[in-house]
Amino acid sequence: MANFKRFNNYFTDISRHFEARKVGTAVRAGNSDLDLFVDTIRSIVRWLMQKFYGDMPSEAKDQYEQVFETPFLTT
């Protein structure tokens, strides 16, 4: 949840309340931060898919793998 909150703060700062003083936040976001955000989104999507489908159909897993270019791994 903490990673999701960080991602939400980043998104809000950059897109909704764009001000010159907040540009530094976006510029300083390194690849590791962006990778963490993407991993968090992947985890959220996997969780939502599992809650929606229950027993995951192979078509849904295939679609996830196509969109995220990574295997659908259950945690």
Instruction: Identify whether the C-beta of residue 37 lies closer than 8 Å to the C-beta of residue 7.
Output: yes
pTM check: above 0.85: no
Give the model's pLDDT for residue 34: 77
Write out 9-74 in H/E/C secondary structure.
HHHHHHHHCCCHHHHHHHHHCCHHHHHHHHHHHHHHHHHHHHHHHCCCCHHHHHHHHHHHCCCCCC
Give the model's pLDDT for residue 38: 83
Q: Which of 2-6, 45-49, 55-59, 69-73 has the lowest mean pLDDT?
A: 2-6
- Report domain extents, the chain: 2-68
pLDDT digits (tens, 9 = 90+) for 12-33: 776 766 666 666 666 666 666 7
In the predicted model, what is the mean pLDDT of the chain?
79
